[in-house]
Chains A and B, each alone.
Chain A
Amino acid sequence: DQQVKQNSPSLSVQEGRISILNCDYTNSMFDYFLWYKKYPAEGPTFLISISSIKDKNEDGRFTVFLNKSAKHLSLHIVPSQPGDSAVYFCAASGNDYKLSFGAGTTVTVRA
């Protein structure tokens, strides 16, 4: 049962433009959301997170937006850079230790 879904397997964006990655979840008990970035042959690296008490969290070029009523979150990368080319995973947790992950979105930033 896939509780976290990333419906776009890939995204191609020109350098300097905005990348928008989307994530939907089904479990209303989720209250903490994370984005991880993964390069080939490396483990996922924590990027940014948001608690359900907020609707926006910003860290440099990365902003995560949370819409609890729609059970939807998104990651914005502005401006996109070639080093941002990677697989991005959305993850969610409730009041326990488990993270539920989406299948990932592969971002390619074109020069």
Chain B
Amino acid sequence: GAGVSQSPSNKVTEKGKDVELRCDPISGHTALYWYRQRLGQGLEFLIYFQGNSAPDKSGLPSDRFSAERTGESVSTLTIQRTQQEDSAVYLCASSLLAGGSKNIQYFGAGTRLSVL
């Protein structure tokens, strides 16, 4: 597609439920990233995928969070047993180059997650 696509755009869930967020990166981009933005804060790195390499999961806040990516396409971020502190905007980005100069990441519009 023309840009990074995320779905759903908004998700309201009850505490304790599982949620799944989807990201379609720009075609041809080998690198894919998930970030979280809490209200009034900057973007917080969660996880990174690059080709067939093992993902960097160092930013995942707890074992309730997991993510998968199918080849160099769609990625899903799953949050199990959601808590109120998981409420945030979850942003996905993709890039053509995965390091060094010109690592320009292109973002989707995000999924706004509200845990009641």
Binding site for B on A (CB under 8 A): 2, 4, 6, 9, 31-32, 34, 36, 41-46, 49, 51, 89, 91, 93, 95-104
Contacts and interface: CB of A to CB of B under 8 A. Distances in A.
B103 interface: yes
14 contacts: A2-B42, A6-B42, A9-B40, A32-B101, A41-B109, A43-B107, A43-B110, A44-B91, A97-B56, A97-B95, A98-B48, A99-B103, A100-B45, A103-B42
A98 B45 contact: yes
B4 A32 contact: no
A27 to B, nearest CB: 14
B103 A32 contact: yes
B41 interface: yes
A32 B42 contact: no
Given A44-B107, A97-B95, A97-B99, 20 more contacts: A32-B100, A32-B101, A32-B102, A42-B109, A43-B6, A43-B109, A49-B102, A51-B101, A89-B42, A91-B43, A96-B99, A97-B48, A97-B50, A97-B103, A98-B56, A99-B33, A99-B45, A100-B45, A101-B43, A101-B44
